[in-house]
Structure 1
Amino acid sequence: MEGHFLVCENAEEEFDISFQVNSTMDSVIPKDQQELYVKAESACNIIKALENTDKQTKKKYFDKLLSLSQVGLVANPAQTETAEFALMKLKDEIVLVEGKRIKNHYMKYLGIDALIIGAIASIVLGICFYFTRWIGCISVLCIIIGALTGTWVSFGARKFEIEFEDLASLEKDKMTPVIRLIYIAVASLIFALLMNVGLIDVKIGNVDISKAFTDIKPALVIGVLCGLVESKIGIQVYNKAVSLLVDNSEQ
């Protein structure tokens, strides 16, 4: 079947493909061409969004995508199945070349940011402890250090394999490494606070997590655990707060 699209390079935007429906065609666009269009458009956006990839390499990916899109959407007859296979191989190639670099780059800067935030927290809380002699300063620092460490480990575990769709943005919530680390550290402190006042009761082995602000061991444990489940901890804290407020308002 003949292709129902007009596909060409967009002269107004770099690494962008212009997809237009061929107005001369009277028949309904075949489903396989619709699906190929959606996939090609998505792939084009990901290629455009690749960071720290030189323009020559991007151009190579782009030219291949443009060519297979024309084969599957424009040609007469349109070789949609062949284009689908070519797109799959192109994605595999991009992941093979870019995946390792992107993941390691993110983990590197996530680790560096964690060290910087940990150092700043150590200085601030060290000064507070010097003037106040409150042992809680050390516990708070342990929670933060544990959360930062757990977050770094969590990313490596969750993103064990990089998919093509991950290349543009490794995290679905779009947080930068610094914002993510600060967010998890604060969420961990809030979680520890809720346990300290008895709103959440958690015990792991012989460690009483509720003593996180008075004992270094549970402080470090709760920090690491919150970091390891960093994708869920914020939601859990939010849901707990909502349930408490709703329950109290209904009484």
Structure 2
Amino acid sequence: MGIFKYIVKNPEEKYDIKFEIEPGVDLDNDMTDIQKSLFSDIENTNNIIKSLSHTNEEIKEKYFNKLYSLASAGFISDNPALAQEALKSLKDEMLLIEGYRIKNKYMLNLGMSVIISVILCWVIFGILGSLFDPSEILIYFVVWTGAMFGTWISFGARKFVIQLEDLSVLEEDKMSIYIRLPYIGICALTFLLFLNSGIFNFQIGGISLNDIKTNIEFQLVLGIVAGLLESKLGVKIFEKAQNMTVNT
């Protein structure tokens, strides 16, 4: 006898499966390890399907129908091993199709946002140049530019191979592009201020802080490094600020 009376498409919520448990069944004790694993995988995969906000509805319906069929086969027909194989094939299909589309679309959107951010950065520099000599603050604009490009490179490196869970949330911190770029840019500028104040030390190979102050290429490298570090840099700045507060 199976552990579920029936499995149906939930009429109250689209792309959701409703499991009706047999009377007297304790899921924790009566399910085998393979059934527990299958049940958990079905729930996770179902959540991913529901989260595909930019996927064609017909394609989502196709994924969901396959998931519903294998769920029925696994628990109503009591063949969890076969259902597990079918689920693996479904996840591979979703990752192949959706992974390619989602990753490339995000990289394109991120890249376009980086370009817009850099253009705005230098438009502001041009406006300031019409008012006074901005050469003293040029380094901040160069570092911001490097940080933007470093962020784009960082995503491509971190998400070189994406997993199924990435289809639901591509970035673990759940930060949107339009918040991520200003956040990282401000972190990079804060890092530069900390360097100029002697709070942080920075050295790559033979490059010192004095070299950075006088060489635009080194300034760009500093910004790129800040972009590559992304949220880690913000954490380091926060920890340093905490230590300063404690010691004062």
Question: Which deviations, in whole Å up to 9, do the C-alpha atoms of 1:91-129 show, x marking residues without a partner?
Answer: 001111111111000000000111111111111122223
The answer to whether structure 1 residue 51 and structure 2 residue 21 are counterparts is no
CA contact (8 A) 2:38 2:80 kept: yes
How many Å apart are 1:216 and its aligned residue?
Answer: 2.4
Please, what TM-score do these two structures have when normalized by structure 2? 0.91
The answer to whether structure 1 residue 204 and structure 2 residue 204 are counterparts is yes
How many Å apart are 1:156 and its aligned residue?
Answer: 0.6
CA contact (8 A) 2:3 2:21 kept: no
SS in 1 for 2:118: helix
Q: Aligned in 2, Cα 1:238/1:26: closer, same or farther, shift over 3 Å? A: closer
Which has the larger displacement, 237-246 or 131-140? 131-140
Indicate the residue corresponding to 2:131 in structure 1. 131
Indicate the residue corresponding to 1:74 in structure 2. 76
**How many Å separate the matches in 1 of 2:215 and 2:50?**
50
**How many Å separate the matches in 2 of 1:246 and 1:34?**
48
Indicate the residue corresponding to 2:18 in structure 1. 18
Which has the larger displacement, 225-234 or 193-202? 225-234
Which has the larger displacement, 81-90 or 55-64? 81-90
SS in 2 for 1:7: strand
Alignment of 1:18-167 (within 5 A): 18-25=18-25, 28-30=29-31, 31-75=33-77, 78-167=78-167
Please, what TM-score do these two structures have when normalized by structure 1? 0.90
How many Å apart are 1:217 and its aligned residue?
Answer: 3.0
Gaps in structure 1 of 5+ consecutive residues: none
Gaps in structure 2 of 5+ consecutive residues: none
Aligned length: 246
**How many Å separate the matches in 2 of 1:139 and 1:5?**
68
Q: Which amino acid aligns with 1:115?
A: I
**How many Å separate the matches in 1 of 2:146 and 2:209?**
13
Alignment of 1:221-240 (within 5 A): 221-240=221-240
SS in 1 for 2:154: helix
Aligned-residue Cα RMSD (Å) equals 1.9
**How many Å separate the matches in 2 of 1:174 and 1:49?**
13
SS in 2 for 1:8: strand
Which has the larger displacement, 102-111 or 116-125? 116-125
CA contact (8 A) 2:143 2:223 kept: yes
CA contact (8 A) 1:196 1:213 kept: no
Q: Which amino acid aligns with 1:67?
A: S
- The percentage of aligned residue pairs carrying the same residue is 38
